[in-house]
Every structure is written in structure tokens, then in C-alpha cells.
Amino acid sequence: MTYCVGLLLNEGMVLLSDTRTNAGLDHISSYRKMFRFEQPGERTIVILTAGNLSTTQATLARLQEEIEHPEASGERSILLAPTMLKVAEIIGACLWSVRDAVDRRIRGEGQFGPASMIVAGQRKGGAMRMFLIYPEGNFIEATEDTPFLQVGEHKYGKPILDRMVRPDTSLADGQKAVLLSMDSTLRSNLSVGMPLDLATIRRDECRVGEQRRIEPGDAKFAKMSAAWSKALQDSFAKIRI
């Protein structure tokens, strides 16, 4: 499986993904699940992927091809699309058509190729927007009421987001929240694994300001994880029932 999460905050957007991919328990690999399409200052789009790897790779390859050959693609380049909504529509349609083609071939094997994605971005003059694209290509959007979106193994790490994330949460606190949400997920579910990819996009900068790969054994992450564990233990000891 996978765990990816995105926050849509007043100050900007925070995105985090793991890298574990598995086809059965004895075929575990590491694959990047965060992809950036950008004309810095003009337009930035970050895609986080979950689900069938052949589906997500084929979808991204097709999106890339349409960016490189916009004349052939019939207005399917996400770097030329007039709005972020149109970007989400293009990605949703592409994801569905790839998945549908995969499904036709592997359905006979009792397997299916669904995948879902978080698409976050902003174009110059437009608003920051973040979408969750479902395997069928339809999508929902993050809002003030629900400022975070998750794909993959989302349940373990949801309680801390429910408690900590509001639209006025700072980018620094947003990074902390997604990392602690991931930390809980890593501890409870083997199908989610390091390294992690963390990206931050400040409002109206239309570029990824910070992108960081957090490797296994990363000192800062380990320290944060240990400090959070200790804080939880201390808080637990103090609570009365």
C-alpha cells in the first residue's frame, strides 16, 4: 500500500508521501510517489500517487508525453491547461483510461488496477487548489472545512490530522502534523515505508519552495518521532480516568 497526505492551508500547501510498493509480501520495492510538474513562478503541480504501480506509472508517462508534445495531444498538457480544475479533469480522465485498459486485460486474473491521486497546484493569477482523484477519474477538492486529503492507508494517521489541522495552521505546524501522521502509520502498518518525500508550496509562489527526501535513519525525523513518543507516554501517564 501507500500513505500520501496533502494539506491546503492559508499559508500554502504541504505534501508528504511514502515510497513503499509491494506486490505480495515478498516483493517490496521503493518507488517515488511524488511528482512535480512546474514552470517556476508561473505554475506548479504536484501529484501524489497510490494504488496499482503500473497504472500510476503509465498515467504519469502519458501526462509527461502530453506536456512534451502538446501539439499532438489535443489540449491535454497539464502545463497549458487554463485552470487547476481543468488540470484535475485531464489527470482524472487519463487515470481512468489507463486503469480501464489495465482492468480489461487483468480482470480475468482476478486482479484489478485501481489507483488514486492527490493533485495540488497553483497557476499564476489563480487560487491554490488540491484535489483527490478517485480510481474512476472523478474527484473531490479540499476546502476550508476539510483542509486535508489522504490516499492509501489513511486511517492510522487521520486522528492527529483531525485534531491538529485547520486552514490557519502554519506551514511549519503543517509539516509537523503530516510527519507525525506518517509516523503513526509507519508504526502500525508494514505496507507503508521510508524514505519519505516532503514538499511545501507557499501561497502565490507557484513553485515548490522546499522538497526534502527523508531517508530511513534521518536524524531529525528520528528525534521528532522519539520526542512525540515520549510526549504521548508522559501525557498518557498524567491522564486520569
Contact residues for a copy of itself (CB under 8 A)? 153, 155-160, 162-164, 172-173, 175-177, 179-180, 184-185, 187-189, 220, 223-224, 227-229, 231-236, 238-241
Strand segments (E) across 95-144: 115-123, 129-133, 139-141
Separation CA 237–CA 231 (nearest Å): 10
Identify the CA nearest to 179 among candidates 201, 195, 203.
195
Separation CA 223–CA 241 (nearest Å): 30
Separation CA 241–CA 239 (nearest Å): 7
Spell out the residues 6+ positions from residue 88 whose beta carbon is closer than 8 angstroms to its own: 119, 129, 131, 133, 139, 141
The smaller minimum CB distance to a copy of itself, of residues 119 and 177, is found at 177
Closest approach, Cβ 119 to a copy of itself, in A, equals 24
Closest approach, Cβ 193 to a copy of itself, in A, equals 16
The smaller minimum CB distance to a copy of itself, of residues 93 and 227, is found at 227
The smaller minimum CB distance to a copy of itself, of residues 35 and 156, is found at 156
Closest approach, Cβ 35 to a copy of itself, in A, equals 24
The smaller minimum CB distance to a copy of itself, of residues 93 and 231, is found at 231
C-alpha cell at 33: 510517489
Closest approach, Cβ 172 to a copy of itself, in A, equals 7
